[in-house]
A = this chain, B = another copy of it.
Amino acid sequence: MTPKITAFERSPDRGRGLARDMRVRWALEEAGQSYEVRLLSFNAMKEPGHLALHPFGQIPTYEEGDLALFESGGIVFHIAERHAGLLPDDADARARAITWMFAALNTIEPPIVDLGIAKLLEGNESWYEKRMPLVQDRLRKRLGELSARLGDAEWLDGEFSAGDLLMVSVLLRVKASGMLDEYPNLCAYVARGEARPAYKRAFDAQLAVFTAASAR
């Protein structure tokens, strides 16, 4: 059964691969699993039909037979559990890889989202410039700790895993700010993720959607 995911009809990141469908596309590509994509406008995402599938009115969703999932972390885990290549076989290594999935989404992504909120939603507010160093310092603390843990390792814990897939995806969201450049080993880590053939196929697929929408 070919799973069906949802993605933005016209991604607000203009095809830079930062929307959350990218994580799911990448996982499916690592797993060698073909998939279909249903594109949604911003209006369609807030309609009852989509809210029944995704309570928070976002993308991506994942439909496979009778199963319907939302939340990119949950979807990536579902794919990782059912296909080889995204979670180690060894029970302890598998538990550690899953902990890194949660760390990416619960410890590293929130301060990255906060930086984006500050810029996108509060960029014109009177407090923007004075507050920004606080937001950056909170993120810098986490990036520094992550950099110290990674050291000169290739991936976070042994072989590439769904933990790395989510961590690289999350770190990509801060790349344009220049803050990642303060941590050369994190830059190299992200570059290793982007160099994976499965990442490239997923990136090209989401870019093609944006390019087609822009041509219309």
Q: Which residues of A contact B (CB under 8 A)?
A: 51, 55-57, 66-67, 69-75, 77-78, 92, 95-96, 98-103, 105-107, 109-110, 113-114, 117, 121-122, 125-127, 130-131, 134, 138, 142, 145-146, 148-149
State A78–B100 Cα separation when bound (angstroms). Answer: 12
Q: List 8 contacting pairs A-B, 8 Å CB cutoff, sorted by A.
A: A55-B148, A55-B149, A56-B145, A67-B96, A74-B101, A74-B102, A74-B103, A102-B102
Q: Please give the distance in Å from A44's CB to the nearest CB on chain B.
A: 16
| Residues from chain B with Cβ under 8 Å of A73 in the complex | 99, 102, 105-106
* Identical chains in the assembly: 2
Known A55-B149, A130-B126, A149-B55; judge A77-B98 contact (CB<8 A): yes
A96 to B66, CA, bound (A): 12
Residues of B within 8 A of A148 (CB): 51, 55
The verdict on A110 contacting B107 (CB below 8 Å), with A101-B74, A131-B122, A149-B55 known, is no
- Cβ-defined contact, A55 with B146, below 8 A: yes
Give the Cβ gap from A42 to chain B, nearest Cβ, in Å: 15
Per DSSP, are chain A's interface residues mostly helix, strand or loop, or mixed?
helix
CB-CB under 8 A from A77, the residues of chain B are: 98, 102
Cβ-defined contact, A106 with B103, below 8 A: no
Shortest Cβ gap from A73 to chain B (Å): 3
Distance in angstroms from A164 CB to nearest chain B CB is 14
Other 20 A-B pairs with CB < 8 A, given A71-B103, A77-B102, A125-B131 = A55-B145, A55-B146, A56-B107, A56-B146, A57-B145, A67-B96, A69-B96, A70-B99, A71-B99, A71-B102, A73-B102, A73-B105, A74-B95, A74-B99, A78-B95, A78-B98, A78-B99, A106-B109, A121-B134, A127-B130
